[in-house]
Amino acid sequence: MLSFSILGALEIYTEAGQVEIPGDLQRTLVQVLLISERQAVGGEVLINEMWGDSAPDNQTNALQAHVSRLRRRLRALEPERSLSRLTIHPSGYRLAVEDDELDAAQFFRKVQQAEMAMLTHPAEAADLLRSALAMWRGPVFGQLPGGTVCRLAGARFEEHRLRARELLFDAELDAGHHSRILAELHETHISNPLRERFCEQLMLALYRSGRQADALDTYRRMWQHLSEEIGVQPSPSLRRVERAILSHDPALSLGSGRGRLESDLTGARRP
Using pLDDT thresholds of 50, 70 and 90, give the confidence band for residue 248. very high
Q: Which tens digit of pLDDT belongs to each residue from 14-48?
A: 998 999 888 999 999 999 999 998 899 999 999 99
| Sequence letter at residue 181 | I
Q: Is the pLDDT reported for residue 255 higher than 70? A: no
Domains of the chain, each with CATH number or no CATH: 3-101 (1.10.10.10), 104-267 (1.25.40.10)
Q: Which tens digit of pLDDT belongs to each residue from 199-214?
A: 999 999 999 999 999 9
Q: Is the pLDDT reported for residue 267 higher than 80? A: no
Q: Check: pTM over 0.85? Answer yes or no.
A: yes
What is the end-to-end Cα distance of the chain in Å, rounded?
62
Percentage of residues in the chain having pLDDT higher than 90: 83
Q: What Å distances lie between residue 60 and 42, 63, 92, 203, 206, CA to CA? A: 11, 5, 12, 56, 59
Of residues 213 and 83, more confidently modeled: 213
Q: Is the pLDDT reported for residue 265 higher than 80? A: no
Q: Is the pLDDT reported for residue 93 higher than 60? A: yes
- The DSSP H or E segment spanning 95 is strand 92-95
Is the separation of the CB atoms in 150 and 29 below 8 Å?
A: no
- CA atoms of 213 and 198, how far apart (whole Å): 18
Q: For residue 260, what pLDDT is reported?
A: 46
- DSSP bridge partners of 86: 95
- CA atoms of 128 and 114, how far apart (whole Å): 6
